[in-house]
Homo-oligomer: A and B are copies of this chain.
Amino acid sequence: MKNTPEKSKYHHGDLRTTLLHVAGEMLKESGIEEVSLRKLAARVGVSRTAPYHHFKDKNALLCGIAEAGFKQLHAMNNRSFNAEGRSTKEKFSLFIHEYVNFAKSNPDLYELMFGRTIWKQENSTQELRAAAYPCFQYQVTMTREWQKLKLLNHSGEDNALRASQVLWGTVHGIAKLLIDGIYTDVAHVEEICDYAVDMFLVH
């Protein structure tokens, strides 16, 4: 029961968003290495070179997918940090669990978002950076709050940037080791996250 006429049209009408959407599906289904422009075009029902009028590169397409991912991640972090009816410690714990579970639920998307493919050697699109950097910055903002509330174990002067780099490194590292298949026990994610929270909190 499609509500679109589907008349055979030369101009697709909304190819750009369709490409992003279908490419996202392919990524979720079978991983990054199965996403090829040609298969994507075939699946959308368009010629191989059509995507090039909407994306400069395959890289630009990938940046577009990652861009949406960062917006999603940013929104999720926001929800964790501002969860109602929870103590600050609980919200800190929630952030860590949610972050790692985001990666666990969307392994290939996460891989793409943080992989060197789109970040190394000036590959990142301006739009991608515009979505990613605020997301990074938000981690610093959260960390600064946690430091003000004397939540985090440390000695010496507070430094929100450094602390957030360490915290972010930790969740990122745990996520990566999980989804790259190096931790064999994916079942114990929550326990690992709990232990991480415990190691960072002041006692």
List, in ascending order, chain B residues with CB within 8 A of A111's CB.
116
List, in ascending order, chain B residues with CB within 8 A of A202's CB.
153
List, in ascending order, chain B residues with CB within 8 A of A176's CB.
114, 169, 172-173, 176
A192 at the interface (CB under 8 A from B): yes
Assess whether B177 is in contact with A170, with CB atoms less than 8 Å apart: no
List, in ascending order, chain B residues with CB within 8 A of A198's CB.
154-156
Place the interface of chain A in its size category. Answer: 35 or more
Pick the contact of A181 from B31, B116, B200 — CB < 8 Å?
B116
State A202–B202 Cα separation when bound (angstroms): 9
| Interface residues of chain A: helix, strand, loop or mixed (majority) | helix
A12 to chain B, nearest CB (A): 31
State A31–B115 Cα separation when bound (angstroms): 14
Query: Using a CB–CB distance below 8 Å, which chain A residues touch chain B?
Result: 31, 111, 114-116, 119-121, 136, 152-156, 159, 162-163, 165-166, 168-177, 179-183, 191-192, 195-196, 198-203
Known A154-B199, A163-B195; further 5 A-B contacts with Cβ < 8 A:
A119-B180, A119-B182, A153-B199, A169-B171, A172-B176
